[in-house]
């Protein structure tokens, strides 16, 4: 019998399974109250419009829509993105989703042992990618005031430099972070740019939730502050539909060129038919009309979640109040263990993601991430009442 393990590459030994995706394998999300995934609501997918747009694409492009396409993405989609975001064409690379954006950025920048700096907690899929290239992840705890924020980053960076470590990039989700829901202020974004320039690393700005804002004012992207040192990752997943698996990278042409060559060996080109559909949908204004409805829907769900938490959660539980995105983050008293509690919750029919899975150092066992986009308001209400009841008994 073949000993596969002796044949797997060194990199594979650093792969780790996503506990979040394992939850989806274990349970039927529609059969329980699921606050677990980052799934958009299926209500936000305008199926009739998708069908019509797909027909239009076939009429307009014929067989070209099903042929191989350019590695950097079809020109029509890059033009639509260029016009929408004011970024020149040569600075736009289409990706097969922003997860691929994270992966290619890591692949072109990080050698084994290099350091990727990120906030602690951070997005699990990114941590998986960094570790799969054997990069070391250094987490920086979030500080709500700008001085504390800067000091926390400086402390981690200085100690890494003192130890002779090479920081290649900072990975950050500045808008409605996954998992915390926090948004970085302009001052905090400028601090990150200043640190990147001072210490000579790049910033990968992951912004899949940026356009899902329900209250407050938009903050400029980090990319707009420093387009020479920032790679900005966008995604169609939350504003259109994740099944298309489409995203984009804005960045300096010299860096994009490396990504371009890297993507040739990854997938030759992003999905061509999907790109034409996205270009038509976005270019014709349908995406924006649909997005406005999604924002109204999610704003209602966020507000409902906040008021349900207020009314039902036992004393000692705190949570974030996100201005957008799909998640809020609960912090329990120190003694609570959300990993151990997970089976109790699942047996009772409610799922969440334990916050420690997003932590770079295994801390945060007293935290929980809750999604508010996926379920109907009725199910959100029943799920929160159920979860709060279970917590009341165990706290």
Question: Taking the complex as a whole, how short is the minimal distance between the CB of residue 266 and ligand PLP, in angstroms?
Answer: 14
Question: Taking the complex as a whole, how short is the minimal distance between the CB of residue 122 and ligand PLP, in angstroms?
Answer: 8
Q: In what order do the strands lie in the sheet with 115-120?
A: 92-95, 247-250, 230-235, 202-206, 167-172, 115-120, 136-141
Distance separating alpha carbons of residues 311 and 384, to the nearest angstrom: 10
Give me the residue label for tokens 């349970």. 27
SS3 83: helix
CB of 326 or CB of 332, closer to ligand PLP: 326
CB of 247 or CB of 271, closer to ligand PLP: 247
Q: Which residues bind ligand PLP (CB under 6 A)?
A: 38, 97-99, 123, 125, 173, 178, 206, 208, 235, 237, 242, 247
CB of 73 or CB of 381, closer to ligand PLP: 73
CB 180 within 8 A of CB 364: no
- How crowded is residue 354: how many other Cβ atoms within 10 Å of its Cβ? 24
Kindly give the interhelix angle for 272-283 and 286-312, rounded to the nearest 10 degrees. Answer: 90
Question: Taking the complex as a whole, how short is the minimal distance between the CB of residue 64 and ligand PLP, in angstroms?
Answer: 25
CB of 123 or CB of 214, closer to ligand PLP: 123
Distance separating alpha carbons of residues 62 and 351, to the nearest angstrom: 45
Question: Taking the complex as a whole, how short is the minimal distance between the CB of residue 53 and ligand PLP, in angstroms?
Answer: 20
CB 191 within 8 A of CB 170: no
CB 40 within 8 A of CB 327: no
Question: Taking the complex as a whole, how short is the minimal distance between the CB of residue 117 and ligand PLP, in angstroms?
Answer: 16
CB of 121 or CB of 141, closer to ligand PLP: 121
Question: Taking the complex as a whole, how short is the minimal distance between the CB of residue 236 and ligand PLP, in angstroms?
Answer: 7
CB of 46 or CB of 174, closer to ligand PLP: 174
SS3 81: helix
């Amino acid at each position: 019998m073949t000993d596969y393990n002796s044949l797997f590459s060194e990199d594979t030994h650093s792969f780790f399974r996503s506990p979040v995706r394992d939850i989806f394998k274990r349970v039927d999300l529609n059969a329980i109250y699921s606050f677990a995934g980052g799934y958009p609501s299926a209500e936000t997918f305008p199926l009739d419009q998708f069908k019509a747009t797909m027909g239009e694409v076939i009429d307009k492009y014929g067989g070209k829509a099903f042929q191989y396409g350019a590695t950097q993405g079809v020109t029509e989609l890059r033009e639509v993105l260029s016009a929408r975001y004011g970024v020149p064409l040569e600075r736009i690379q289409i990706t097969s989703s922003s997860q691929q954006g994270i992966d290619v950025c890591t692949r072109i920048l990080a050698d084994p042992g290099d350091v990727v700096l990120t906030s602690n907690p951070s997005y699990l899929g990114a941590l998986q990618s960094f570790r799969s290239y054997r990069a070391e992840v250094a987490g920086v705890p979030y500080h709500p005031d700008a001085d504390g924020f800067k000091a926390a980053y400086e402390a981690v960076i200085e100690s890494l430099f003192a130890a002779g470590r090479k920081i290649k990039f900072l990975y950050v989700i500045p808008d409605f972070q996954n998992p915390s829901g926090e948004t970085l202020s302009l001052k905090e974004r400028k601090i990150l740019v200043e640190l990147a320039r001072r210490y000579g690393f790049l910033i990968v700005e992951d912004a899949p939730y940026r356009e899902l804002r329900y209250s407050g004012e938009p903050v400029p992207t980090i990319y707009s502050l420093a387009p020479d040192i920032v790679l900005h990752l966008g995604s169609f997943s939350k504003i259109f539909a994740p099944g298309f698996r489409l995203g984009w990278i804005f960045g300096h042409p010299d860096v994009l060129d490396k990504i371009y060559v890297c993507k040739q060996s990854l997938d030759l080109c992003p999905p061509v038919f999907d790109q034409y559909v996205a270009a038509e949908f976005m270019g014709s204004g349908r995406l924006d009309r649909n997005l406005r409805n999604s924002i109204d829907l999610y704003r209602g769900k966020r507000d409902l979640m906040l008021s349900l938490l207020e009314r039902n959660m036992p004393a000692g539980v705190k949570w974030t109040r996100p201005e957008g995105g799909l998640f809020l983050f609960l912090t329990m008293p120190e003694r609570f263990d959300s990993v151990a509690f997970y089976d109790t919750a699942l047996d009772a029919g409610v799922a969440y993601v334990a916050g420690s899975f997003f932590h770079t150092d295994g801390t945060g066992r007293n935290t929980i991430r809750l999604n508010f986009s996926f379920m109907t308001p009725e199910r959100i209400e029943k799920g929160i009442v159920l979860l709060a009841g279970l917590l009341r008994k165990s706290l």
